[in-house]
Amino acid sequence: MANFRLGYAYLKLSEFSPDDIGNSQMAFKQSMGADGDNVYAYLALAELYQKQSTLSKKDSFAEAENVCRAAISRCPHDPACHLALALAYDNNFKTNKKNEALGQYQKALYLSPFLVEARYRLALMFKSRKMSGEAVSEFKKVVEIDPNCPQAADSKHAILILEKKKA
């Protein structure tokens, strides 16, 4: 657990220098080696790879996807694992894996219908596909689940815009 906490501290609190990235990766991998069933070390490593891909020129989305799939193989009924894989697919703009992301968001919601982040991302995906009815329905569910969450304000705004276009 100490390695996980150290890696997480590097991930969340660091300047994201090459040394911080390396230290964080090493700590997460040590945590995974010590406790292979700790899927949160896998998910944090996937988040690190995605952040690295976004902030640097190194494309680590494939690594993020692989780590998420490894987490799912260890804990297939954990919605956080499916959400992490969906985000890895969805955030990788170099490959078109939006259909795979959609499937993983739906799987996460099947396992946990009140997972706001998955519901919100699914709504955004429907909106981008011009599926207004489905998008409005999902945005409304976000607001119903947690009207005070950060996604609720965006959801309310999206509902107004989509319903206005519909009228």
Lowest mean pLDDT among 12-21, 48-57, 155-164: 12-21
Confidence tier at 111 by pLDDT (50, 70, 90): very high
Q: Where are the chain's structural domains?
A: 1-109, 113-167
Residue type for 139, please? Answer: F
pLDDT on residue 119: 98
Q: What is the mean pLDDT of residues 154-166?
A: 93
Give 1's contacts (C-beta < 8 A, 6+ positions apart). 31, 35, 38
- Number of C-beta neighbours around residue 46 at 10 A: 27
Which residue would you say has higher pLDDT here, 39 or 113?
113
Contact 142, 120 (CB under 8 A): yes
Confidence tier at 57 by pLDDT (50, 70, 90): confident
pLDDT on residue 121: 97
**Chain-wide mean pLDDT for the chain?**
89
Could you give the C-alpha distances from 122 to 16, 18, 118, 137, in angstroms and in order?
29, 33, 6, 10
Tell me the percentage of the chain whose pLDDT exceeds 90: 59
pTM (two decimals): 0.88
pLDDT on residue 10: 66
Which candidate, 78, 77, 28, 31, places its Cα nearest to that of 51?
28
CATH 1.25.40.10 fits 1-109, yes or no: yes
* Tokens encoding 58: 């190194």
Integer Cα distance of 160 and 46 in angstroms: 35
